[in-house]
Structure 1
Amino acid sequence: MNIEELRLLIADVLEIEPEEVTDEAHFTDELDIDSLLMLEISTRVETAFGVPENTVVISGASTLAELHAFVVSKLVGEMPARPVIRPRPLSDPAVRLFLLHHAGGSHLLYRGWAQHFPQSWELCLLEAPGRGHLQALPLIDDCDRLVDYFHTAVAPLLDRPSGFFGHSMGALIAYQLTRRLHHEGDPLPTWLGVSAYGAPRGEASADGRPHLMSDDELRGWLRSVGGSPPQLLDNDDVWRKFAPVFRSDFKLVNTWASPRDPEPLPIPLSVFGGHRDRLIGEDRLLSWRSFTTHFRGLEMYEGDHFYLMNHQQPLADAITAAMRSAAV
């Protein structure tokens, strides 16, 4: 398959001229490709070139050039399994910011974020096994084992100022990963940001333990929370592929044993949330203040549990300012 064939296919789906689909035109920002159009493109690529189902959807590609490279690698079976994805690789970055995704999600949560940060910063998107580039790997449904996995991946990259930002389940993993680094005497991030996740507490959560719900209950619960595209929840074939990921991740969150009286982390910690989040209220977010020696406050944005999808630039500005303040 050559890139021109793929260009023609995408142009046909979008009903535009092929020359408008340049190699580096951003799918979301410049070509206005939403999740529904991406599913249509994925289906056509599967039919035309015989690649595995959902190849385009899981690729994480943001341009034609990236998608072509990914599809070719799938055809020849040479796609490397890497948990760290760098949208804008730098040979000598001033800062590395590690971003961790939510339950049932992937690094695609942070697609397009790199453009909102300083050019000298390298964003590192962490991908949990069993999705995206790591679809062939088994899912991990235990918090400590996933922290082990990410610890191995990020340890060589902590050779310069760094920050961790995690959303929902990603906040839990970012917190536990920071605790692991602290316990083992490894370099710590200069700043930790947690989003849409309450601070650890001893009692069991009251969220209905979604990993034990029936399919109908789980799909209904995800609809009420928001953030999941309708075509994922309404299409039975698509749901069957993603349901095991949701259940595995929710099991990880629900079975995690909160530490008793943990030592406050010796780094600045900032908290973020949505005003209309049905899962986490401000009181739970504010309870993070006792888990750090340098609490940098709570910032709230308009929106629900996935408020960050509509506030990329303001959130990036807040993270940048927080990290720069922490470095002083």
Structure 2
Amino acid sequence: MTTASVNIEELRALIAGALEIEPEEVTDEAHFTDELEIDSLLMLEISTRVENAFGVPENTVVISGAKTLAELHAFITSKLLGQTSAQPVIRPRPLSDPAARLFLFHHAGGSHLLYRGWAEHFPKDWELCLLEAPGRGQLQSLPLIDDCDRLVDYFHTAIAPLLDRPFGFFGHSMGALIAYQLTRRLHHEGDPLPKWLGVSAYGAPRGADGADGLPHLMSDEELRGWLRNVGGSTPQLLDDDAVWHQFAPVFRADFKLLDTWARPRDHEPLPVPLSVFGGRRDKLIDEERLLAWRAFTTHFRGLERYEGDHFYLMNHRRPLATAITAAMHSAAA
């Protein structure tokens, strides 16, 4: 089994099976040695099951020192990530004691390189954390994730140790959906919340109506034409067959994630300040869709639009950084 499939629910079910109890009895913060009364033999049995299920070294559970399910999940994921010698969080300017962290989520078919060069435009005591989804960049050896909840699981585990100080989320296009869903996850589980959430070039969640089509089901030629129309992809990627066939699976997986995501029935407004950004000539998202985000937060901070298309941000790093910094400072005041 791979890192991408190591989600906390599978681990919960595995432990419940070893203890012959219901999965819901294994809560995220349940202490193995106390509340669940696991002795050394049971711990060894759980460790063996974990090893067989996830392909981690012998006695992983025993040596982890984990006291809760959440800690064990994080430890197992870190072991598997260590085997890939790559991490999903790239920090261009690592700091030992940052005043704040800003997590940046990339678009469909993209990578952390969308935010290359951004760090220099932010306060020197801020640490920027660029998120990388599996199957691209240094994580090419990991399987792609084509389900929103699973990618949120993956990123949640990756950033959990970094939420020890004020932080914010900014996501572009698909990254906006992931940032929003991850904020909902943190809120639901009682974890620290971002001081501010920024969503870019992505319309507020709405019922599935098929208006935007289903790119992941398009033929190669249809998908390439659609991407040309949207903008943001280099001619080499779309015109060179060899290059396209290398990247097509990434696009299809990411678009499947977007096309199959279902708006939650319970979309109570988040208690997090939320700002919206977009390009004035974006062919995918109009102003009405962007402004609809007002219904998803108790603190709507407005919409800022810049000259450009769906990938307007490539030409507006400095003003965007200024706007994000101001929004974070205002939210923290």
For normalisation by structure 1, the TM-score amounts to 0.76
Q: Is the 8 A contact 1:86 1:125 kept in 2?
A: yes
Superposed displacement of residue 78, structure 1: 8.0
State the alpha-carbon separation in 2 of the partners of residues 229 and 78 from structure 1.
Answer: 32
Secondary structure in structure 2 of the residue aligned to 1:266: strand
Superposed displacement of residue 204, structure 1: 2.6
Q: Which residue of 2 aligns with 1:308?
A: 313
1:93 aligns with 2:98: yes
Secondary structure in structure 1 of the residue aligned to 2:216: helix
1:289 aligns with 2:294: yes
Secondary structure in structure 2 of the residue aligned to 1:272: strand
Q: Is the 8 A contact 1:202 1:260 kept in 2?
A: no
Q: Could you tell me which amino acid in structure 1 is paired with residue 314 of structure 2?
A: M
Q: Is the 8 A contact 1:147 1:176 kept in 2?
A: yes
In the comparison of the two structures, how many residue pairs are matched? 252
State the alpha-carbon separation in 2 of the partners of residues 205 and 315 from structure 1.
Answer: 31
State the alpha-carbon separation in 1 of the partners of residues 213 and 206 from structure 2.
Answer: 16
Extract unaligned runs of 5+ from structure 1: 1-76
Secondary structure in structure 1 of the residue aligned to 2:320: helix
State the alpha-carbon separation in 1 of the partners of residues 218 and 143 from structure 2.
Answer: 22
Q: Could you tell me which amino acid in structure 2 is paired with residue 240 of structure 1?
A: H
Superposed displacement of residue 208, structure 1: 1.6
Q: CA RMSD in A?
A: 1.2
Ranges of 4+ aligned residues in structure 1 off by more than 3 Å = none
Q: Could you tell me which amino acid in structure 2 is paired with residue 258 of structure 1?
A: R
Superposed displacement of residue 242, structure 1: 0.2
Extract unaligned runs of 5+ from structure 2: 1-81
Q: Which residue of 2 aligns with 1:155?
A: 160
| 1:94-119: CA deviation from partner (whole Å, max 9, x where unpaired) | 01000000000000000000001010
1:239 aligns with 2:258: no
* Percent of aligned positions that are identical: 83
Q: Could you tell me which amino acid in structure 1 is paired with residue 114 of structure 2?
A: L
Q: Which residue of 2 aligns with 1:223?
A: 228
Secondary structure in structure 1 of the residue aligned to 2:283: coil
Q: Which residue of 2 aligns with 1:248?
A: 253
Superposed displacement of residue 155, structure 1: 1.1
Residue number among 128, 131, 134 corresponding to 2:133 in the alignment: 128
Q: Which residue of 2 aligns with 1:116?
A: 121
| 1:49-102: CA deviation from partner (whole Å, max 9, x where unpaired) | xxxxxxxxxxxxxxxxxxxxxxxxxxxx98612100000000000010000000
For normalisation by structure 2, the TM-score amounts to 0.75
Pairwise mapping of residues 1-328 of structure 1 onto structure 2 (< 5 A)? Answer: 80-328=85-333
Q: Which residue of 2 aligns with 1:34?
A: none
| 1:162-203: CA deviation from partner (whole Å, max 9, x where unpaired) | 000000000000000000000000000100000000000123
Secondary structure in structure 1 of the residue aligned to 2:128: strand
Q: Could you tell me which amino acid in structure 2 is paired with residue 191 of structure 1?
A: W
State the alpha-carbon separation in 1 of the partners of residues 206 and 196 from structure 2.
Answer: 22
Q: Could you tell me which amino acid in structure 2 is paired with residue 202 of structure 1?
A: G
Q: Could you tell me which amino acid in structure 2 is paired with residue 111 of structure 1?
A: R
Q: Is the 8 A contact 1:274 1:306 kept in 2?
A: yes
Q: Is the 8 A contact 1:190 1:326 kept in 2?
A: yes
